[in-house]
Amino acid sequence: MAHFKKVICTLTVLFLALVSGYKEELRATMKSCKNGQDVTDAEIEEFMKPLIPKTDEEKCLMACVFKAFNVIDNGHYDPKIALAVASDLMKNEPEKLQKIKNIIDHCGDDVPRKMDNECELASEIMQCVVKYEREVGIA
């Protein structure tokens, strides 16, 4: 089950629109991150867009989801986990997987591997993802 959650989180970061079949899993994770508050379909759709979180609340929600799937662990960002999850989910789409791998490679180099503020780390990850999506032809 933990591996399944990692798959969802990584694509949440990279291409959340691709994981629409996993909305209920994402909803449960987001609900947990929001201290049990219900999560609307509109909130899920907004969260699935590859956008840079702007407010502290948005940054911390993103960090919570990343932590739930071990992409962020104790202030450490692990691009290897992100790549493993993407590889598992995208194994039947090698062209898209290569683009994702390129993004993860760039962000693995550009994003600090460790930050004390996990909310800011999540924001750094998303800034990088959005930047490189354009370069590899995803956005």
44 lies in the same domain as 55:
no
Residue 53 tokens read as 């979180």
Q: How many domains does the chain have?
A: 2
d(CA 120, CA 57): 11
The rounded average pLDDT for each run of 10 residues, N- to C-terminus, in the chain (139 residues) is 46 46 73 88 80 90 88 93 77 85 91 95 92 81
| pLDDT of res. 139 | 62
62 lies in the same domain as 129:
yes
34 lies in the same domain as 72:
no
Residues in Cβ contact with 58 at an 8 Å cutoff, skipping those fewer than 6 apart: none
Helix (H, G, I), strand (E, B) or coil at 55: coil
Q: Which residues constitute the domain of residue 77? A: 50-138
Predicted TM-score (pTM) of the model is 0.76
Q: Nearest Cα to 50, choosing from 19, 78, 92, 87?
A: 19
